[in-house]
Amino acid sequence: MQPDPFGNLKDWGPVLEFVCQLADNKNLSECQPGLTRILAYRDNWRLREETLKRIGAIESPSEALIHQVLNIIANHNLYYEVRILACEAMAEWLKKNIPFDTAARASLSQAVASQLATPQPPIFEEALKKLHGVVCERFGVSSRD
């Protein structure tokens, strides 16, 4: 399978169906460059959300995919629902003991701590606190709570 079989993301209906089909067949990991592109694509919220809901099942996410999810979590210009979904996907990976390189660990810890250091809406703060707890447990850093 091609690493990015999704084609034109503006024609999002078939892309969404294909993402769902790949997830149902447990083949998302074969298309990580395409999934990274979907997450970076800002012109369709549904594609992003549905992709985020499914990528936590990937057993070995690429560095690029991890960093794109981290970018969503840290992006103050994005709406909270998509950032919460990104927190949930990241937490799923962390709970699976998927290897994270040193730079990704540092970026993740810093991004979560930075977000928690400023007032957030309660629903996003709750997602950040859950992710922070998983980060602390996984990487052995002390929790601020």
Mean pLDDT by 10 residues, the chain (145 residues): 88 94 95 97 95 96 96 96 98 91 90 95 97 92 56
**Model confidence, pTM:** 0.92
Please tell me the distance from the alpha carbon of residue 68 to that of residue 117, in angstroms, as a whole number.
22
First-residue to last-residue Cα distance in the chain: 45
Please tell me the distance from the alpha carbon of residue 20 to that of residue 144, in angstroms, as a whole number.
38
**Predicted local confidence at residue 98, as pLDDT:** 85
Please tell me the distance from the alpha carbon of residue 67 to that of residue 103, in angstroms, as a whole number.
10
**Predicted local confidence at residue 142, as pLDDT:** 59
Please tell me the distance from the alpha carbon of residue 134 to that of residue 123, in angstroms, as a whole number.
17
Please tell me the distance from the alpha carbon of residue 13 to that of residue 111, in angstroms, as a whole number.
33
Please tell me the distance from the alpha carbon of residue 95 to that of residue 89, in angstroms, as a whole number.
10
The packing angle between helices 45-55 and 63-74, to 10°, is 120
Q: Hey, where are the domains in the chain?
A: 12-139
pLDDT tens readout for residues 76-106: 999 999 999 999 999 999 999 888 888 889 9
